[in-house]
Structure 1
Amino acid sequence: MGKSIFISLPVTDLKVSVAFYEALGFRNNPRFTDETAACMVWSEAISFMLLTHDKWRSFTTRPIPPSTSSEVMLALSCDSREAVDAMSQAAAAHGGTVDINPVEDHGFMYTRDLADPDGHDLAAMWMDVSPMPARS
């Protein structure tokens, strides 16, 4: 197995969270999914582990932060501006909150921030790096 990242998130309703992340374009990996956890694959190297609160507590005694807090924002790259908007629409239709921060449009970069049903911050983003000069 090459280098990869598994991002663990505590969730209150596993089925709702799985449906939310599937709507955003993640796919479920049943090999690492059961009634307490679901492995949601974003890319070959990036997966989200959605964990019930009981499962989460088996990893740490630290408290689960309230859904109104922000500890980290996970940016998910999209293929186009339209894909950013489509992800935002899917999030809103599946229990998420869209545009939790102002939309950012810098021409070469377009970002819309959203929260999943448990308040975890995500950023749907598209960037065209072609106008940026190469650095040595």
Structure 2
Amino acid sequence: MRMIFVNLPVKDLPASKAFFSALGFTFNADYTNDDGACMVIEENIYAMLLTQTRFRDFINGEIGDGAKATEVITCLSADSRAEVDETLAKALAAGGKPWKPVMEHGPMYGCSFQDLDGHVWEVMHMPG
């Protein structure tokens, strides 16, 4: 079984945890401390929200500034168009910023936003 861990630097870990909690995500307490938080996206999909100090332990060079450049787009699936809209509304209410307009490409419907650190997230409904 494979797992995926997306590692993201954050400036304010408690604020980031509150932001993603407002979107409905939970955190695995076994892998959460003052330096990082393991956000559970799905059974085998996690985002490690790491303080910038801790994130530096894993990289060479500088930490990119998500407010100035896009380093990655993390796209999550949604079960319905309504879930896309609800997630965007929650993100904006929790302090996120809109990124691109809501998109509709054939049967696909999605939104995008930036979290508190400027990381870009998409939520996409792709009926099967």
Report the TM range for the smaller structure's normalisation. Answer: over 0.9
Name which one, 1 or 2, has greater alpha-carbon Rg: 1
- Structure 1 stretches of 4+ with a deviation exceeding 6 A read none
Separation in 2 of the partners of 1:35 and 1:64? 19
Structure 2 equivalent of residue 62 of structure 1: 61
What is residue 91 of structure 2 aligned with on the other side?
A: 91
User: What percent of counterpart residues are identical?
Assistant: 43
Consecutive unaligned residues in structure 1, runs of 5 or more? 130-136
Aligned partners of 1:50 and 1:80: how far apart in 2?
27
Cα distance per residue 1:93-136 (max 9 Å; x no partner)? 111112x112211351101111100000100111112xxxxxxx
C-alpha distance in structure 2 between counterparts of 1:107 and 1:22, whole Å = 31
Instruction: Give me the whole-angstrom Cα distance separating, in 2, the residues matched to 1:104 and 1:119.
Output: 20
How far, CA to CA, are the matches of 1:45 and 1:91 in structure 2? 23
Number of residue equivalences: 127
Partners of 1:123 and 1:74 in 2: CA distance: 6
Deviation at 1:25, TM superposition (A): 2.4
Shift of residue 59, structure 1, vs aligned partner: 1.2
Q: CA deviation at 1:85?
A: 0.7
Unaligned stretches of 5+ residues in structure 2: none
